[in-house]
Amino acid sequence: MPCSRVLPAVPAPAVAAWTLTALFAVAVSAGVYWIPIQVSDSLEIMEEVDEFPSASAAFVAGLHASATVLRPLRQLQTKVLLNVAHAAGDRYNTVFRGYHAVGAAALIVLFGALARPRTWTDVAALAFALTVLTGLHTFAGMVREAYPVNHFLLIALACLVTLALGQSRGGLAADGIAVTCFALAMLTLESGILVWVVAVTGYVAGLRGISRRGLVVMGLLLVVYLVLRVAVLDMVGNTVGERPTGFGLRMLSRAEQKAEFGDHPWPLYAYTVVSSVLTVPFSQPVVGEWTAVRAYTNGDFTRTLNTHLIEVTTSAAATALIAWYVLGRRRPEGPRR
């Protein structure tokens, strides 16, 4: 008698984890799809890029589009999406919003896959992690329409792909994908350098999917990138007054920044760096502005309690939980794991 092949049963925790991940992915991507294209941030760039004869021409123009930022792949991606929209009957919203919705879903699915939940405790931890990922105020910047291709979402995806490569079995293909991912990320947004940071940190922690050879090539690409910015294109960093930013309890306009810090910008630079670090574990300040303290001092106790207090306490609690977990694993094999 022919014997039928019996497939192994999928553990219930794995089914629950993937169901949870899928629900998050569908909910977030659907919300992203229905966000209108922002006229102020996107329309002007779309009109400019649409005039280029080809995607390669858009890329070359992007190399010289600014004296402070090097983001040629933003223009190339915009041109490609515009070509697709034209081919689909000028369905701009469908193409651009669909692109962002797919990216948001991919981010959550890849996040869930990297978590590798195996037990019900893992599923509970994944639910907590997905809530933190999508609930942190910085997540909004990764799904909002912007410029008109959202760089922040792409950089987050590149970092997760790099982490996945670090956990893989490695090989020439893994190194090649990691190097390509790093190059694309750097030419999309300056914070694409974080891809290299993820690769190096993973290697130090014991992940060998990206080999030492791959890390060396990525390091050489970083040097080439810096030489291109500084020596070839003569680019400088953002100057004071480039865009509004918070300082203390208020938001400074471009003119106010120049008036207060034009001659001595380093205090503003230092404050911005410290604020960027604090906003991740504590959700404050927001764009440099301590909105929770300002609301409290203005007597807006209801908003302080319902919004800011909950935001800060939950963020601080999550940070404390992560710190407790890391410190509790400081055994011989703990730090590398």
Q: Which residues contact 129 (CB under 8 A, 6 or more apart)?
A: 111, 115
Q: 3-state class of 286 per DSSP? A: strand
The domains of the chain are located at: 13-232, 245-328
- Judge if the upstream peptide bond of residue 267 is cis by omega within 30 degrees of 0: no
Instruction: Residue 81: name the closest of 46, 34, 43, 107 by CA.
Output: 46
Cα(249)–Cα(287) distance, integer angstroms: 11
Cα(130)–Cα(12) distance, integer angstroms: 19
- Residue 248 has phi, psi (to 5 degrees) of 70, -125
Please state the separation of Cα 172 from the chain's center in Å. Answer: 26
pLDDT in tens, the chain (337 residues): 555 555 566 688 889 999 999 999 999 999 888 887 777 667 788 888 888 999 889 888 888 877 778 888 888 999 999 999 999 998 888 898 899 999 999 999 999 999 888 899 999 999 988 988 888 777 887 887 667 888 889 999 999 999 999 999 989 999 999 999 999 999 998 889 999 999 999 999 889 999 999 999 999 999 999 998 888 887 776 677 677 788 888 888 888 888 888 778 888 888 888 988 888 888 888 888 888 888 777 777 666 666 677 778 888 888 888 888 878 766 655 444 4
Q: Which residues contact 255 (CB under 8 A, 6 or more apart)?
A: 241
Q: Which residues contact 15 (CB under 8 A, 6 or more apart)?
A: none
CB environment 228-264: b (16+ within 10 A), e (fewer): ebeeeeeeeeeebbeeebbbebebbeeeebeeebeee
Give the per-residue pLDDT at 268: 86
Q: What is the DSSP string of 19-84?
A: HHHHHHHHHHHHHHHTSPPPIIIIIHHHHHHHTSSSHHHHHHHHHTS-SS---HHHHHHHHHHHHH
Give the per-residue pLDDT at 335: 47
Give the per-residue pLDDT at 198: 95
Where is 245: in which H helix or E strand?
strand 245-247
Give the per-residue pLDDT at 176: 94
Its pTM stands at: 0.82
Q: 3-state class of 252 per DSSP? A: strand
